[in-house]
Amino acid sequence: MPLVTSKEMFAKAYNGGYAIGAFNVNNMEIVQGITEACKEEHAPVILQVSKGARAYANHTYLVKLVEAAVIECPDIPIVLHLDHGPDFETCKSCIDGGFTSVMIDASSKPFDENIEITRRVVEYAHEHGVVVEAELGTLSGIEDEVKVAEGCASYTRPEEVEEFVTRTGCDSLAIAIGTSHGAYKFKPGTKPQLRFDVLHECEKRLPGFPIVLHGSSSVPQEYVTMINENGGAMPGAIGVPEDQLREAARSAVCKINIDSDLRLAMTGTIRKFFNEHPDKFDPREYLKPARANIKELVRHKLRDVLGCSGKA
């Protein structure tokens, strides 16, 4: 099947009590690792591309890699999504260039300005059959090129969500409930806890409407240790506990964003390979196990965290 939008995927996920994995892609091995797992697990998937990914790999290369995955995985629905679109022009360029979904992230702007920018993107996207994710509330960590300091992050205000969705016409909404981008989400020694009360308040005010969670890597300690034991230095890297992500996936959360975990799997595997084989220099030899570990990591997410195995 050709690339799809997330409309039907989200309706099924909402009613079925599971979430779709939205994985960031930056190169061929990452696309392959993710989609091979989804193909074997018969799981729908969102492949997402950030502004940084477009700058790194080039828009056309990324689109063609995703189109290759569509050919290789004819039986599963695949969405090509712009992650954290910073402005109308970037969203337009992706809509014109083959994406089926875009995020406009104007969450750092005042409420009315966020609505205005989002509404403009929605208008253009809907004219072209593309769906739009917007964001209310800010996550700490790095939102593409905008670094949000820890103290400046703010939870989504549930009393704002209905007006925001009605006035913008967006198709899904990313909310801030305590997740953050990157590999250092919580202070070591503290108990990580998402604000499910905020999520449930938003959910109540938007019946049937898909909610999105960014910053949802669980930062597997297996890979943090692998990195630290093979020349890396990532002390105190901590992610969102998987049981909390599972709980979120059963609610109105229909899309869960994961990037850092893929980076950890890839980096840990390559570091270990280099450490064990200082004589090797063929990139295929170290990218192959890196791709295989991304595949197994994604399989675990689909089965045990998102609950979307077999839902394609």
Catalytic residues, which ones? Answer: 83
Query: What is the rounded CA–CA span in Å between residue 162 and residue 49?
Result: 28
In the list 106, 258, 290, 305, the residue contacting ligand 13P (rule: CB under 6 A) is: 258
Residue showing tokens 């689109």: 63
Does 135 interact with ligand G3H (rule: CB under 6 A)?
Answer: no
Among 39, 81, 181, 255, binds ligand 13P (CB under 6 A): 181
| Cβ burial 197-230 (10 Å sphere, 16+ → b, else e) | ebbebbbeebeebbbbbbbbbbbbeebbebbbeb
Contact region with Zn ion (CB under 5 A), list: 55-63, 109-117, 213-221, 284-292: 213-221
Among 27, 28, 52, 192, binds ligand G3H (CB under 6 A): 52
For residue 219, the minimal CB distance to Zn ion (Å) is: 15
Minimum distance, C-beta of residue 59 to ligand G3H, in the bound complex (Å)? 14
Query: Of 50-58, 114-122, 231-239, 240-248, which segment contacts ligand G3H by CB under 6 A?
Result: 50-58
Structure tokens at 178: 């305590």
CA angle 75, 80, 81 (to 5 degrees): 145
One-letter amino acid identity for 40?
Answer: E
Q: Is the alpha carbon torsion for 46, 174, 210, 197 positive or negative?
A: positive
Task: Tell which one of 32, 118, 138, 217 touches ligand 13P (CB under 6 A).
Answer: 217
Residue 217 contacts which entry, ligand 13P, Zn ion, ligand G3H, none (Cβ below 5-8 A, type-dependent): ligand 13P
Binding mask 214-253 for Zn ion (x = CB under 5 A): x---------------------------------------
| 165: three-class secondary structure by DSSP | helix
Residues 6+ apart with CB under 8 A from 208: 14
Among 144, 160, 242, 247, binds ligand G3H (CB under 6 A): 144
Q: What tokens were used for 144? A: 């593409």
Confirm if 171 and 131 have CB atoms less than 8 A apart. Answer: yes
57 binds ligand G3H (CB under 6 A): no
Q: Does 192 bind ligand G3H (CB under 6 A)?
A: no
Residues 6+ apart with CB under 8 A from 142: 148, 181, 182
Please say which residue, 52 or 97, places its beta carbon nearer to ligand G3H. 52
Instruction: Considering only residues 201 through 260, tell me which ones interact with ligand G3H, judged by CB under 6 A.
Output: 259
Cα–Cα distance for residue pair 191/194, rounded to 1 Å: 10
Shortest Å distance, C-beta 228 to ligand G3H: 21
Both tokens of 108, joined, read: 């750092």
Binding site for ligand 13P (CB under 6 A): 24, 83-84, 181-182, 214-217, 257-261
